[in-house]
Structure formats: structure tokens, C-alpha cells
Amino acid sequence: MSRLWEKGLPLDERVLRYTAGEDHQLDARLVAYDVRASIAHAEMLAAQKLLAEKDCQAIVQGLKELLIEFQAGSWRIRLEDEDVHTALETRLTDKIGDAGGRVHLGRSRNDQVLTALRLYLRDAATDVRTSVEGLCQSLQNISSLQGTVDLPGTTHMQHAMPSSVALWSAGFGEAFQDAIDGLGSALRRINKNPLGSAAGYGTPGLAIDRDLTTTKLGFAETQNPVTAVQLSRGKAEAGLLFELSLLMQDLGRLASDLLLFYTQEFRYIVLSPEVTTGSSIMPQKRNPDVLELVRGAAGTVQACLNECMLIMAKLPSGFQRDLQRMKPPVFRAIDLTIESVDIMAYLISTVRFLPENITLGDELFATEDAYKLVQSEGIPFREAYRRVAENLQK
């Protein structure tokens, strides 16, 4: 077998294993995206008279068949393939002959990798958004069904002012809506077409049409100049992971609230047995493991962001192989975020508040009492504040 970069020289097996890393396993999620990008590229070459129409048709049909076969489990990306790009081109050439070798004209593995990854990230951002919308719906449902239940609002972990389930859930609902907006912002860097920038310096002497592949692949714009493409590597990934980190921070805070509410000391809520686990030694225990793991996941996703940022730090311009190591933290953060949001949406749907266990002491209404004094007597708020405080100390 021949990898895209091979020139007939031997390669030590240890070097292959180290340089290929996890790509032959991770790239399974990129097969459909590399097929899509390769089809757009081939059709562009044909439109520019750089590829015969019959070869273009063979390439397009061959790639579509390879995708169907992959999804059916007929082949997989092997270590010897190194990555999805070699795996597809090798099998395409085996399937349709020399025409398969013509698909790489006018591109490098550098822009090929980035194109498939950005197409994937665009869909991943949409998938996260869908999950967050489901979580928002669960919060709205709990507000509709139990919103009138009183809750003590807290500051510094102390009872502070009156609140309610409706106010509590609405606060998190707005936070998660903000996360949805943030995902839209992350798309600004993702939605730029790198295809045709090749190794970072374009395709001198070859009249390709990068705007055509931009249109075919649904990118918002063609990334220019070509030297900007490799400089942008990691920014779209880190931008998305930053938004995921903010989302997971709020999800962790929601989990922390529910963990407090579930303690015997609070007993504000009941969790369904379906979302709790048991103890291996204590027969009476039902543990909120899901909430604890969600809270921990916030740290994992932020660590993925930090890992990406550190990989990018102080790299010179142009392509650097260091960037290959971004795939594991990016994929891990996306998967963990979607799993965590989805499981929380389900858990929230099972939560039942226990109003009989929730008491709002008179002191929670102190601020309201001060406001009443201001309005009834026309005194400054600071004087009303002191008078209410003095009454509470009696």
C-alpha cells in the first residue's frame, strides 16, 4: 500500500506507529466529510477542465460507494493507511483505476485534513446546539410543572432572598441559551473554506476555482490569503472548545445545585431511581453519580481546551505536524459535552421538588421590608436598611 506522501523509501514500523498515532481510529468520524470534500474538489477540477468528465464521474461514484461500504462495515481505516485520506484514495484507485490518483490534483493533505475537520466541526456544533435545546426544554418543563415552589435564594452559600423553582430554572435556561449563541459565534472561524490552499501556498500554475468548492461545501467564505489557512489551524477548534467549556461550567453548576438539593440536610428534591446508583456495601444508599460525573466533566472539557491551546503555543507559520495531536482533545470534548448535556436533560425531567421540606424564614424578606419603608416613609434606602437590620437583631 502507498500513503499519500510516499516516495518509495522504506519507513520504520515504529515511526509509522508513532506518527500515525490514533488517527487510523479517530478518523472514522471523518470518512463522510472527506468523501464530501473530495467529491466537491473533483467536480471543481472537471469544471476547470483539469479533470476529464468521465474520470470525475468515476471518482464521484467510487467515493459514494466507498462511503456506503464503510458505513456497512466492509472496510475500516488501518494503521497501514495512516489516516482517512490515504485510506480513501488507496481504495478509490483500487476500485476505479488510475482515475483515482487524479483526485489529489490541486490539493495537499494539509488542506484536505482541515477541510474534512471543519465540515465535521460545523456539524458537531449543530449537534451540541440540538442537545442544549433539549436541556432548555427540560428546564422549561420543570418550571411549568413546579415553578411555583418556593426556594431560598442564596449568596455566599447563605439564605439571602426569596426565589422559586421558576426563577432558578430560568437563570440556567438563559445561561444555556447564551451557550447556543456562543456556538453560533464559534462558527465564524469554522465556516471558512481552506480547500485549495494546498500546503499553505496555493497551487501556482494551476487554475483552480476555490470559490466553487466553497459554494459546493456550503462554507460561508473562501479563506484568503492561502498563507492564512495554516496560521488559522487550531483557532476554530479552540474557539469551539472555549464555548463548550463555558457550557460545561454552567452544566456543572446546575449539577452542584441539584447535588445540594438532594442531600439529607436539604432534601429539596427526589431523584428517580432510574438516574441514581447503589452502594456496594450500604443497602440504603442511592447515589447521584450522574450529577457528580457531570460536574467532573466540566474540568475535563476545559482541560481539552488547555491542551489545544498549548499545542498551538509559539508554533511558527506554515504547517506543523504538532497540530495532528489536536484531534484527541477536540473529539473527546465534543463527545463528552453532548453526552453530559443529554444525560442532564433526561435527569432534569425526573426531578421532583418537595415543597414540604423547603422553608423560607422571615429574614429572607428583609430587603423587601427595606424597600417598603423607602416607599412608605420616603426615607433613604441606607436608613431603611439599618432599621430593618436593627429589628432583626432584637
Start and end residues for every CATH 1.10.275.10 domain found in the chain: 13-102
State the pLDDT at residue 224.
97
User: H helices of 205-234, where?
Assistant: 210-217, 226-231
How do the pLDDT tens digits run along the chain, 394 residues long?
A: 454 445 444 666 777 777 666 778 889 999 999 999 999 999 999 999 999 999 999 999 999 999 999 999 999 999 888 889 999 999 999 999 999 999 999 999 999 999 999 999 999 999 999 999 999 999 999 999 999 999 999 999 999 999 999 999 999 999 999 999 999 999 999 999 999 999 999 999 999 999 999 999 999 999 999 999 999 999 999 999 999 999 999 999 999 999 999 999 999 999 999 998 887 888 888 999 999 999 999 999 999 999 999 999 989 998 888 888 899 999 999 999 999 999 999 999 999 999 999 999 999 999 999 999 999 999 999 999 999 999 998 7
Q: Interior CA angle at 127 toward 122 and 133, to 5°?
A: 125
CATH number attached to the domain at 13-102 = 1.10.275.10
State the pLDDT at residue 19.
64
Give the separation between CA 188 and CA 220, rounded to whole angstroms. Answer: 8
Non-local CB neighbours of 359 within 8 Å, separated by 6+ positions: 152
Q: Which residues are catalytic?
A: 156, 279
Measured CA to CA in angstroms, residue 50 lies from 39, 41, 88, 105, 111 at distances of 14, 11, 21, 8, 19
State the pLDDT at residue 11.
64
Non-local CB neighbours of 365 within 8 Å, separated by 6+ positions: 162
State the pLDDT at residue 394.
75
Start and end residues for every CATH 1.20.200.10 domain found in the chain: 109-357
Identify the DSSP state of 356. G
Q: Which residues of 331-359 are buried (b: 16+ CB within 10 A; e: fewer)?
A: bbbbebbbebbebbbbbbbbbebeeeebe
What number of other Cβ atoms are within 10 A of residue 317's Cβ? 10
Give the separation between CA 267 and CA 253, rounded to whole angstroms. Answer: 18
Measured CA to CA in angstroms, residue 392 lies from 59, 359, 369 at distances of 81, 18, 11
Give the separation between CA 330 and CA 266, rounded to whole angstroms. Answer: 38
Alpha-carbon torsion (81, 85, 88, 90), positive or negative? negative
Measured CA to CA in angstroms, residue 272 lies from 275, 286, 340, 370, 383 at distances of 6, 10, 18, 41, 48
* C-alpha cell belonging to residue 337: 459535552
Query: Does domain 109-357 fall into CATH 1.20.200.10?
Result: yes
Residue 221: φ, ψ to 5°:
-160, 165
With beta carbons less than 8 A apart as the criterion, state whether 312 and 234 touch.
Answer: yes
- Residue 10: asked if its preceding bond is cis (omega within 30°), the reply is no
- Closest by CA position to 144, among listed 132, 136, 153, 155: 136
State the pLDDT at residue 2.
53
